[in-house]
A and B are shown apart, each in its own frame.
Chain A
Amino acid sequence: MLSGNFCKMSTQRLPLVALIGNPNTGKSTLFNALTGLRQRIGNYPGVTVAKKSGFLVLPGFGRIEIIDLPGMYSLSATSLDERIVLDALCGRLGGVPRPDAIVCVADASNLLRNLFLASQVAELGLPMMLVLNQADIASKHGMEMDTAKISARLGGIPVVAVSAWHGTGLPMLRTGMAELLQKQPCMERLAWHPCVHEALALLRDGLRRGGVAAPIPDVELQRLLFDSAGHLADGVRGHLNENVSLDALVRGARELVRHAGFNPLAAEPLLHYERMRRVLDGAVSVHPPMDTFSKWLDGILLNRVFGTAIFFVAMVIVFASVFHLASFPQGWMEGFFSLAKKHTGVWLKDWPVLQSLVGNGIIDGVGAFLGFLPQILILFFFIALLEGTGYMARAAFLMDKLFSWCGLNGKSFVPMLSGYACSVPSVLSTRTIEDPKARLATIFIIPFMSCSARLPVYSLMISAFLVPQIGSVGGTLVLVGMYFVGLFVALPLAWLLTRHVLKVGRQPFLLVLPRYQTPKARDVLWSIWQAGLEFVKRAGTIIFAITVIVWALLYFPHNEATTQRARSEFVAEQAALSGQTPAQVEAAIEASALGQEPGPLSVALEGRVEAAHIEDSYLGRFGRFVQPIFAPAGFDWKITVGILASFPAREVIVSTLSTTYSLGGDAGADSGTLHSAMSKSTWADGARAGRPIFTIPVVLGIMFFFALCSQCGATLSVIVREAGLRWAVASFLCMSFLAWLAAVFCFQIGSLFF
């Protein structure tokens, strides 16, 4: 039946081979070596596990597709990755056909554990071959492997020894794969004790009688029987009649196993391990001793003093690189984009709508997401390095205690730290956290870390308002304090989430500390390239769209009447100031606009007109409409519009404020004119009429607001990617509400003292 299927499929699609194996066996290195760059990166439908597939040509067979499934130790699926593997192998994954054959990659220096998975997978009854990877390391330790003997004992499946790192043995592997697809040898299944067969038959009958129409393959029945918490049960339960209890059925089946003298929840690994021990007996000369180099290095890197010190140095290097190194390419890009803006501005000056759309919408939009690329590439370089060397697991080991109390784990540390540079790559990097609960909670709290885009806001507020009042030392202290605000809110929030909100099953924290390895440059570069490409493809469009939408809301309706009104107001004001007639002022403006570089008068007018248009724009109108919401925080409508306009990217607040305070959009955070314009501004009406807007409580409130608020379209779009729309919405609402609450709190309490 299989070969019939296979012939039919081969006319429609390429034969599909699945690569499976334990983590850290060099499976991905092997995949890269086999496919070269003929890879396709995507996602499994509905989940965020990266799907890697590629193509290769087998000698004497032809072109095939190969899929690199996530690494796993056992088929008993608890984590998302493991479910994907099980579903893919059973052909239950949408968009991925059932593989035609399986290539199981095993680490030669820990064969027994690796063969356990192979033995489990053999129950699928699919054609299979075995690749003993890292054979060079094993033979260095004096281990000899008789691949022919192993092959014979496993039912004649192809068994080849390779070194993916050095690329040796690959021709043999390709030949073996061709043989695998042609002859379709299956690995011999475990000779189960009769009680297991009885238990499986009981389950099969019970399910059929319970209304499950489709026959369930043995491998899935085994998962129901042996796993204490499997995800299959949930799927099956949905198909059962209401009066049939799956739990009772499974309990009955387990009773049969128990009756024969086995612990049903431990029998499976015991039997598989026993079998594989027999398979390896005499086929492998010596079991290599535990890698002494790794042991020695662990003695240093996990040492109480040195290990902790080295860890912090490593993290400082990672953080400083993401924070500072990225600023160079970002600076070049900014230069390039402002140049592009200037030139297109000149070309399009006769079509003001188009000019603004291209300059402030499209170019800013492209810049908005490309600006994140350097940080993403740099962070992923370090992540690939940390993972590839095996240090990531050690870092998690060192840091776990700090985070375990609030439901996170040691692997949350690197994403959280890099969150201080930028949330976008950090959210993407949470894929290294296996526990789904800890991963979701980490994604949720990363945006609270004070990213580099908050710095311009802090520095504007502190230098303009706090330093004059509390001195530069006090200002610095406040700045340092701002970096902790997010963390102090985030950790209790994580505790709350993992304890009371998240309904995702908790996974035990079990961390295999792999052998230290030298990562291959090709693998590192390839993973950086993939991270960058995926970000641009998936998040880029959303960030671009948000930027253009907010541009439109800030630009339209752009009435001519507004321009005229702002102009006549400006002229009248200038006339009153200088004692000239309005006509004289008009003439002076004309003269000022004529020169090579526009004079101060025409620049001031331009700023005034721009501010009037912002005030009249849809976003401006909306800002004034919702200003009452921000009134308890002491924010006026200009701050409110600034906040609304900076939802796509928080650093925009500085330029929006400088525009609304009529200075033109180019004033920077350190601009003295913006400082004085803001400190001079007073309430026009209401209870506080005539009093300054930017008092200490308001300034602190703004800073707290920006520390906590979810003002980053890019982050939200990667949260959509990594956790789903629901989580992005929850994150947005939660952060914005907390930000508002903090600002109100600041203003209300602060106003009692100032």
Chain B
Amino acid sequence: MKMTLSKLGIGLDARVVRLEACGPLQQRLLALGLLPGMSVKLVRVAPLGDPIAIEFQNQCVALRKAEADSIEVELLEK
């Protein structure tokens, strides 16, 4: 099932589908190692509802929902 990263439920694993628009945010995520095909997990939402924290490649990174909207992922079936 395809969706954007911000719609992913807490604790769910997904796979990055592709980075269509490659703006500064995507380029920064790529530099951190969030490459297409890589698995990513939404670990936490901040107490005020934004930003979200995601985990990939042994690291935890926070980004805002509005910006996470531009990243398309595919839910991994357990």
Contacts and interface: CB of A to CB of B under 8 A. Distances in A.
Nearest to A120: B31
A237 interface: no
A290 interface: yes
Interface residues of A, number: 44
B49 A401 contact: yes
Contacts of B61: 510-513
Contacts of B23: 228-229, 508
Given A269-B30, A289-B58, A290-B58, A308 B47 contact: yes
Interface in B22-75: 22-33, 35-36, 43-44, 46-51, 53, 55, 57-64, 67
A456 interface: no
B53 A513 contact: yes
Interface stretch (A13-21, A106-114, A582-590, A606-614): A106-114
B63 A307 contact: no
A166 to B, nearest CB: 22
Nearest to B66: A404
A501 B4 CA distance: 32
A73 B22 CA distance: 17
A73 B32 contact: yes
Query: Max chain B CB contacts within 10 Å: which of A269, A270, A303?
Result: A269
Query: Max chain A CB contacts within 10 Å: which of B22, B30, B32?
Result: B30
Contact of B24 (A113, A228, A298, A308): A228
B19 interface: yes
A266 B23 CA distance: 10
A397 B60 CA distance: 12
A542 to B, nearest CB: 36
A234 B58 CA distance: 36
A511 B62 contact: yes
Contacts of B47: 302-304, 307-308, 398
A228 B24 CA distance: 6
A116 B33 contact: yes
Contacts of A206: none
Contacts of A397: 46, 51, 53, 62
Contacts of B24: 78, 228-229, 507-508
Interface of A: 73-74, 76, 78, 109-110, 112-113, 116, 227-229, 263, 265-266, 269-270, 273, 287-290, 294, 298, 302-304, 307-308, 393, 396-398, 400-402, 404, 507-513
Given A266-B27, A396-B62, A512-B62, 20 more contacts: A76-B27, A76-B28, A78-B28, A113-B33, A116-B31, A116-B33, A227-B27, A228-B22, A265-B22, A269-B33, A270-B35, A290-B55, A302-B46, A302-B53, A398-B46, A398-B47, A508-B25, A508-B67, A513-B59, A513-B60
